[in-house]
Structure 1
Amino acid sequence: MFRPFDWQDLIPLLQGAWLTIQLCAVSGILGVFFGLILGIARTSPSRIARWVSTIYISCVRGIPVLVIIFFVFFGIPLLFPGLEPDKFSSAVIALTCFAAAYVAEIVRGSIEAVAKGQSEAADALGLNYWRKLTYVILPQAVKIMVPPGIGFLIGLVKDSSLVTVTGLLELTHAGNIVTNLTGDPIKTFLVVAAMYFVICYGISRLGRLYEKRTGVHVDPLKLPEPAGI
């Protein structure tokens, strides 16, 4: 027997929304950390670093995120018997791997967008590669990479709905459970959509705040496609 959708059904949906926020926050932070490393490696003078980062970025960007989620969730226990991460950890690993590749391209594009005269001036001052990167290139590149990074984070929130296939009780999965109890998918997923909108709108407001503080134009709802590898 189905029951009508009522206010008590908001509790599991809010819990799912909170888990979605936690999932995206953790995987987003880790994705930025590893993406920054990969992006710097992609533009480094080391041929090996460029080769390794290029292969990783090309492979991950060429694979659907759903396949990555399946591979991590089912593949890790098969490849490493005895190592069975929980659903949340598996989702974090999968989304981090996905995010790192795209953030790396944002970092690479931002570094290459810094005027070449800045690098030449640093060379003239006798700065080595790492000092030049730390004190001259990255501070300017950050202003360029934050706007598309905000846009990608919004995309990550929406892509996180795919981890519902693992059974993790995030927002979309909570919506499926409530639908099965109420038999009313329209009301349920209207609420789910509204919650996703609130999360994404909050992130976009952070982008607008960044725009006001720095004067850099931000269009967080439209993520430009990174340049080809």
Structure 2
Amino acid sequence: MMFTSFDGADLLLILKGAFVTIQISALAVVLGGAVGVLSGLMAVSPWPVLRWLSAIWVSAIRGVPVLLIIFFVYFGLPLLSPGSNVPDYWAAVTALTIFASAYISEIVRGSIAALPRGQMEAASALGLSWSRTMFSVILPQASRIMVPPGVGFLVVLIKDSSLVAVIGLIELTRAGNIVASQTGQPILSYLVVGAFYFAICFGLSVLGRRYERRLNIRVETPEVSDILLPTQGVSK
């Protein structure tokens, strides 16, 4: 087999793979975040049925490897609908979305649970409904607590996205495999791939820390009385 030298075309292929990794991870966080927030709110809701549904969903997804979720979406869903086909790109996004939703749900639930119970009790005493309490009082405060574990999970998701290479999607890891087989230089190829992963994850960590500092300085925690009576002063 004839090997080619590692050149700009190989670097471009790895760069394109990195872009695909960022794409599928970003889509998974957005879509999984929407499902995760909903599931997290269900987990702290006053209705037992919703709490049970959330607990079952989170336990089921967290109890299996992400690779198994990828296999189920890519190979299993077409079997449920003979003749259908799931493109590798959307299979990756779907599997990572399912994976992300369970972990984001736990981040939301844990962040809400970390707040003093007096916040909910004060809102209830002032006559706020559960939904208004959540969206106007609890979530604005809990969002500050969600930032550190949220950034940490995003870094984990970026790295776990490498598993979608098994279904043939040319993301960062798969691109590195292709370049390594074409050039016969696996050490150089995987060093470049590792550098891309490090750059992405390190960049996210830096942005996360800056955002945390910005929240601590500029974001004020809303008072229950401010939500209920936004135009009236409250004596301190």
**CA distance in 2 between partners of 1:47 and 1:81 (Å):** 37
The AA in structure 2 aligned to 1:112 is A
**Residue 185 of structure 1: how far off its partner (Å):** 0.5
**Residue 26 of structure 1: how far off its partner (Å):** 0.5
**CA distance in 1 between partners of 2:47 and 2:82 (Å):** 36
Unaligned runs of 5+ in 1: 217-229
Q: Which runs of 4+ in 1 moved over 6 A?
A: none
- Residues 62-96 of structure 1: CA deviation (Å, up to 9, x unaligned): 10000110111000100122332211100000000
| Residue of structure 2 in register with 1:134 after alignment | 135
The equivalences for 1:163-182 within 5 A come to 163-182=164-183
Unaligned runs of 5+ in 2: 218-236
- Residues 174-229 of structure 1: CA deviation (Å, up to 9, x unaligned): 0000011011100000000000111111211210111220229xxxxxxxxxxxxx
| Residue of structure 2 in register with 1:65 after alignment | 66
| Residue of structure 1 in register with 2:21 after alignment | 20
| Residue of structure 1 in register with 2:31 after alignment | 30
| Residue of structure 1 in register with 2:234 after alignment | none
RMSD: 1.0
- Residues 138-182 of structure 1: CA deviation (Å, up to 9, x unaligned): 111110012100100000000000000000010100000001101
Identity of aligned pairs, percent? 56
| Residue of structure 2 in register with 1:82 after alignment | 83
**CA distance in 1 between partners of 2:21 and 2:72 (Å):** 20
- Residues 45-75 of structure 1: CA deviation (Å, up to 9, x unaligned): 1111111110010011010000110111000
| Residue of structure 2 in register with 1:153 after alignment | 154
**Residue 134 of structure 1: how far off its partner (Å):** 1.1
TM-score (norm 1): 0.92
**CA distance in 2 between partners of 1:45 and 1:82 (Å):** 43
Alignment: residue pair count: 216
- Residues 96-155 of structure 1: CA deviation (Å, up to 9, x unaligned): 000000000000000111111111110111111111111111111110012100100000
- Residues 14-57 of structure 1: CA deviation (Å, up to 9, x unaligned): 01000111110101111111100000001111111111110010
TM-score (norm 2): 0.89
| Residue of structure 1 in register with 2:197 after alignment | 196
**CA distance in 1 between partners of 2:94 and 2:46 (Å):** 29
The equivalences for 1:88-107 within 5 A come to 88-107=89-108
